A and B are shown apart, each in its own frame.
Chain A
Amino acid sequence: METVHAIELKHITKRFGKVVANDGIDLAIDRGEILSLLGENGSGKTTLMNMLSGIYLPDEGEILADGKPVTIRSPKDAFAHGIGMIHQHYKLVEVFTAAENIALGLKGKDHDRKAVAAQVQAISDKYGFGIDPNKKVYDMSVSEKQTVEIVKVLYRGAEILILDEPTAVLTPQETERLFDILRAMKADGKAIVIITHKLHEVMALSDKVAVLRKGKYIGTVNTCDTNPQKLTEMMVGHAVTLNIDRPQAKYKDLRLEVKGLNCRSGEGVSVLKDISFQAFGGEILGIAGIAGSGQKELLEAVAGLQKAESGHIFYYPPHPNSDIAGHHVPVDKAGEELVGKTPGQIRKVGVSLAFVPEDRLGMGLVGGMGMVDNMMLKTYKDTPGPLVDRKAPKALAEKLIDELEIVTPGVATPVRRLSGGNVQKVLVGREIASTPTVLMTAYPVRGLDINSSYTIYRLLNEQKMKGVAVLLVGEDLDVLLELCDRILVLCGGQVSGIVDGPAATKEQVGLLMTHVGGGKEAGSDA
């Protein structure tokens, strides 16, 4: 069948300095079809799509739109060819209304306020979005913001939609809704490209899958002819096992107990309400919730970074001088109160926080310093005298590079220059090296590809088997359900429920995320 493709890429190459991000890529995008673009981190998916949306110019190669060669120099050119991209980080002006964001950059009479509002309403009705054109973006939920982004490109007459990891921050229910919308668009004859890491979404949504590996195009397959195992092998280049282990520790001892914890943010808003739970050594306790439900504050409160207004955090130290792995360590009934202690004191008792924030480097690592100096951040105070000792941290850095397969030119290279996955390995590796008894980590695999993610899961499981109590804030529910022994679900700063990892379903957790106790509506009106 010799048809004209909506977009055809021929031999596209893009270099950043010496790095070849895309190496001679051929790809075809067709109308009425959903194409998944799959690949590990740094395989060049986003770079490739950015060339379609006019952010980058290809160094070599040709782009054909409807069979005719085109040059896309700017986002404006992209719109002219009906290409609209929804970026991973939403490109919206926070202080503008939805309608203002949609009308931004458009010229001509038919784009005055009234016309925009009317047309937004029409698009909204057609695909069932339901957005308020006059709502300011800063008042919107993540999912509403995404909807505005989609309406924005549709308003500009986009026929080819590119979505960069659209589900990364959505709840399962919101994801389902988005998929329904995408299917409606497909039925409407639009071409849709979705960039994602999540194989089950690829399988559920797309018609075809194109795989990139290390900047090279591997091939395109029909979704119905493949399975997650085969796709992973195409992506990684060798066979991998896709199951996440959930080994069982022999003994589970109470390590941390939080009782009636309340916290207020700097602005006086209540962020944690009456939180109570227990965490056990030899267990991974998952913490799920919509972004901003209090996950960050909870971890910070335990680490002593967030001041508790009321409530208690008790820490039950394992017996000193005894290896906690595989042993039953009797709990000292008089737990140590952590509320009121400084972060330094809390770290000394063995509670460690490996927080991977959205920007990865924001908390925990100093971007401009090398690995050695970053290793030292947590230990430099332990050595006597005014001078620092660089030998031990250097050895540790080299050990981490070796064990975790961290790709870096050297221990002195500023960590900012490493790729996201490697930065995360440095961070998690350092926390683990401090032999904590409680390890807290948030989004440790955010933005990581399969291989790196599995390395991190393996590390967490190792810690768990050593008898460490692991607290894991995650956003991918599938992973949490496979990895965690129990999952604590937060909703609007409250504990919405604690479910058993092996027994819980995704729907159950999703419901708890939006409704306290899985029942009545909580706080925000949907």
Chain B
Amino acid sequence: MSVNSNAVLLLIMAAVLNGVPLLYGTLGEILSEKAGNLNLGVEGMMFMGGAMGLGAAFYFEGAGGTSGVLAVILALFFAFLGGAIGALIYSFLTITLRANQNVTGLALAIFGTGAGQFIGEYMRVTSGGYVAVSNNLKAVFLNSPFPAALQELPVVGPLLFGHSIFLYLGIVLTVGMHLFLNKSKAGLSLRAVGESPATADAAGVNVTRYKYLATVIGGGISAIGGMVYIMTIASCVWNHEALSGEGWLAVALVIFCLWRPLNAIWGSILFGALMILYQRLHLGFIPDELYKILPYVVTVIVLIFTSLRNSKDKQPPNSLGLPYFREER
């Protein structure tokens, strides 16, 4: 294996590592937006998920737990719970009280960031300045679930089997969401709610229930992304700056993917690559900051191209961001 191809392999591995948190963030937001709820609070929900997921694993171990699988499940569950709580507040305000979605989403972004910071810092201070789980547990979160024999295959080994469990879970989730949205009756109803709630209502679909469920479950999925970031990229250590910007990238990625879950797989890996390009492919005369805006530049370019093509199939859900009130005239 030449040095060059080795560097490419390393870049891909790092891109996947950085892409997986985005994949969850994006999937959750797609679900929410497909039901017509533009939840700009992804950043906040990812912070809450990150802090609660880390907390779950940390306290589980502190209480004497040793099972790695159980730690992962607990981290997933509590991260999901954190995001779901944030999304529930958002849902109550925007769906039941019909508050403006943009304003509420921004408020959730700020609130969630603060709540996540609070939990994270609380854990850090009470445990003596440093939250960390054991190296064993770190390995469970970070390493591949596949047997070593598979991982040691040349090239395809690391490429296909060398990632953390969360990539594979994410892909299963993506395919599941794709099938749900496009093949199932509930998915049809969900998309109808996002496109035209009045139509869905007249057809006997419970608009409020669909909006609540999609937003709350979507928020939970997004929050898992925050947990994955903390437990893999940030090596299970609370760092109050680590997560910042992830949620906004996920929101941009939803647009980049044209609201289609399957696109999120390669989209998030591409964004992951763009995020770490400055570490791996550094050209001295270009400041890091220019590298870091690449994902946003790509999103803008995609937006320009899709609006030029003006295809009805590539537009955001028609009622995205609008509240629904049946008796409004």
Contacts and interface: CB of A to CB of B under 8 A. Distances in A.
Interface in A86-107: 87, 91-96, 100-101, 103-107
Interface in B279-329: 310, 312-313, 315, 318, 326-327
B185 A93 contact: no
A76 B326 CA distance: 14
A75 B318 contact: no
Contacts of A198: none
A251 interface: no
B192 interface: yes
Given A75-B203, A105-B204, A91 B195 contact: no
Contact of B189 (A75, A94, A104, A152): A104
A74 B202 CA distance: 8
A56 interface: yes
Contacts of A2: none
B88 to A, nearest CB: 24
A75 B198 contact: no
B200 interface: yes
Contacts of B315: 95
B312 A75 contact: no
A95 B202 contact: no
A31 interface: no
B121 interface: no
Interface in B132-191: 185, 188-189, 191
**Residue with the highest number of chain B CB atoms closer than 10 Å, among A53, A96, A138:** A96
Interface residues of B, number: 22
A136 B205 CA distance: 21
A79 interface: yes
Interface in B40-91: none
A525 interface: no
Contacts of A136: 312
Interface string A19-62: 00000000000000000000000000000000001011000000
Contacts of A53: 202
Interface centre among A75, A95, A136 (most CB of B within 10 A): A95
A111 interface: yes
Given A55-B326, A103-B188, A106-B185, A94 B318 contact: yes
Contact of A55 (B185, B189, B327): B327
B213 to A, nearest CB: 16
B326 A104 contact: no
Nearest to A112: B185
Contact of B195 (A74, A79, A94, A111): A94
Given A75-B204, A105-B204, A111-B185, A93 B312 contact: no
Majority secondary structure of chain B interface residues (helix, strand, loop or mixed): helix
B327 A93 contact: no
A95 B318 CA distance: 9
Given A104-B205, A105-B200, A107-B185, A94 B192 contact: no
A402 interface: no
A403 interface: no
B244 interface: no
A105 B318 contact: no
Contacts of B327: 55-56
Query: Which of B195, B196, B202, B203 has most A Cβ within 10 Å?
Result: B202
Contact of A105 (B198, B203, B310, B313): B203
Contacts of A87: 202
A267 interface: yes
Contacts of B326: 55
Nearest to B194: A93
B195 A104 contact: no
B204 A93 contact: no
Given A56-B327, A105-B205, A92 B310 contact: no
Interface string A63-94: 00000000000111001000001010001111
A103 B191 CA distance: 13
B313 A91 contact: no
B204 A96 contact: no
Contacts of A92: 196, 199
Given A95-B195, A100-B188, A111-B185, A267 B310 contact: yes
Interface of B: 185, 188-189, 191-192, 195-196, 198-205, 310, 312-313, 315, 318, 326-327
Given A93-B192, A100-B188, A106-B185, 17 more contacts: A74-B201, A75-B202, A79-B204, A87-B202, A91-B198, A91-B203, A93-B200, A94-B318, A95-B195, A95-B313, A96-B195, A101-B199, A104-B189, A104-B192, A104-B205, A105-B192, A138-B312
Interface of A: 53, 55-56, 74-76, 79, 85, 87, 91-96, 100-101, 103-107, 111, 136, 138, 152, 267
8 contacts: A75-B203, A91-B199, A93-B191, A93-B192, A93-B200, A96-B192, A106-B185, A106-B203
